[in-house]
Structure 1
Amino acid sequence: MGEAVLWGSVAASPLIVGALLALWRPWPPRWLGIVLGFGAGALMASIAFELWEEGLELGGPLPLAIGVAAGAVCYYIGDRIVEKRATSSAGQGAPLAVGALLDGVPEQLVLGIGLASGEGVSVALVIAILVSNLPESIGSASDLLEGGMRRSRVIGLWAIVAVACALATIAGFALADAVGPEFRAAASGFAAGALLVMLVDSMVPEAQSKAKDETGLATVLGFALAAGLSMVS
């Protein structure tokens, strides 16, 4: 259990670090767009080379497809609820936080199950998580601050997301003996589905609006780095 607490905290820590970086200094819109584009590319690689491939290997296409559909629908509904309650000036900050939660919880649940099953955690995988989570939290926290949210509320929001993700690793470790590979495949699919909708609806449009022509290059660089790290791991 101690191993699950350690790796759950390590995997969730970039979410807090990104929010703190946004609080530390204002990010120029162009640089913020580049960061978001880079993060979007990293998340695309995570979907293709980790969540999708692992889901297929574990449980086959049916549990994976069910998970993808469920994740996509949950994010869509959650995003609509957030849009109704958030102010229009908050930009894409709140949707990005919802995406981080719906991605991080099932992803770290699978991590915890893997740890309980005796699977190791590579340094490359930890770096890949850092590469994808850090830009997401920087972009969201910056937008929320720009929209007028108090600094204490911004850090509190991302602390809740990080704690929920870390606790998911512990829950996965505890539930490892009670779930099968099909559940792990569905959980990977859920994270992939939520991420795909978030990327198309929120993260990529926000990056494009801020960085313009540099968004595509930043996205490709993020994809290449995260894909390379996934292959090493």
Structure 2
Amino acid sequence: MSALLWGLLASSSLIVGALIVMARPLPQRLVALVMAFGAGVLISAVAYDLVEDAFDESNGWVLLTGLTAGALTFYVGDLLIDRLGGADRKRSTGVQAGGAGAAIAFGTVLDGIPESVVLGTTLVAGSGVSVAMLAAVFLSNLPEAMSATAGLLKSGTSRRTILLLWIGTTAVAGVASWAGWYFVGDAGGGTVALVQAFAAGALLTMLTDTMVPEAYDFGGPSTGLVTVLGFSVAFGLSTLA
């Protein structure tokens, strides 16, 4: 139950981000810079809460295997979703009007599963959820939802449909967090490390495919600075945890 609730809490920022945009549409550049911040947060989480931990718990071969498998799995899944019409699911420009609603929904769920599964695995040791990972998931989901919601609104998607999309995604993320705890709970350190490396590979692929291009296209020269700021904030949380 704890894993489920933590997963729901971390992903609840998807709904928060959507509500913010619905209440008051934000400038496209601001949304892009918030997304750059979220990308920096996730990069830090991948580096220090996934890759480093996976390496400490196993060895380089397990790490490389997991990274490769995670990257290829996300790449193939994302490629299929792109061909079905979900390629622009996180764009803030409204180009979602040319895509398929189901593909956009599946793509959004695909993006959130790896981080939620890892969040659940942090409870395996019995020492409580990783504060750094929880913060990383929450802070990175916020700009994702803001950007995608802005684009969906411009494409003519109803507010009810958008809210249902994020509520459904949040629910799936909660279940994914529970699954991460349940299926890895009795496994050894090597299995946990493999799961962490797999998620790291998937998240890095997702970042460069969906979040970073959107942030760079509309954030301007400040994008790099804001990304580093997000990285630094997440790193600070990791050192305090």
Please say if residues 96 and 198 of structure 1, whose CA atoms lie closer than 8 Å, have aligned partners that are also in contact.
no
Alignment of 1:125-140 (within 5 A): 125-140=133-148
Letter in structure 2 aligned against 1:156? L
Q: Which runs of 5+ in 2 are unaligned?
A: 97-102
Letter in structure 1 aligned against 2:129? V
Distance 2:191 2:112 in 1: 16
TM-score when normalising by structure 1? 0.85
**Which position in structure 1 is the counterpart of 2:227?**
219
Alignment of 1:154-193 (within 5 A): 154-193=162-201
**Which position in structure 2 is the counterpart of 1:80?**
79
**Which position in structure 1 is the counterpart of 2:128?**
120
Question: Structure 1's 145 and 99: CA in aligned 2 closer, same or farther, altered over 3 A?
Answer: same
Give the secondary-structure state (helix, strand or coil) at the position aligned to 2:122. Answer: helix
Letter in structure 2 aligned against 1:198? M
Pairwise CA distance, 1:90: 5.4
Distance 1:64 1:97 in 2: 30
Distance 1:152 1:99 in 2: 19
Please say if residues 132 and 234 of structure 2, whose CA atoms lie closer than 8 Å, have aligned partners that are also in contact.
no
Q: Which runs of 5+ in 1 are unaligned?
A: none
**Which position in structure 2 is the counterpart of 1:49?**
48
Distance 1:39 1:96 in 2: 20
The number of residues matched between the two structures is 232
Distance 1:48 1:200 in 2: 15
Letter in structure 1 aligned against 2:7? G
1:141 corresponds to 2:134: no
Q: Please report the RMSD computed on the Cα atoms of aligned residues, expressed in angstroms.
A: 2.7
Pairwise CA distance, 1:229: 0.8
Question: Greater helix share, 1 or 2?
Answer: 1
Pairwise CA distance, 1:29: 0.9
Moved more, 43-52 or 89-98: 89-98
TM-score when normalising by structure 2? 0.82
Alignment of 1:8-87 (within 5 A): 8-86=7-85
Distance 1:15 1:222 in 2: 18
Pairwise CA distance, 1:37: 0.9
Pairwise CA distance, 1:14: 1.7
Letter in structure 1 aligned against 2:40? G
Pairwise CA distance, 1:96: 9.3
Distance 1:115 1:88 in 2: 33
Moved more, 13-22 or 39-48: 13-22
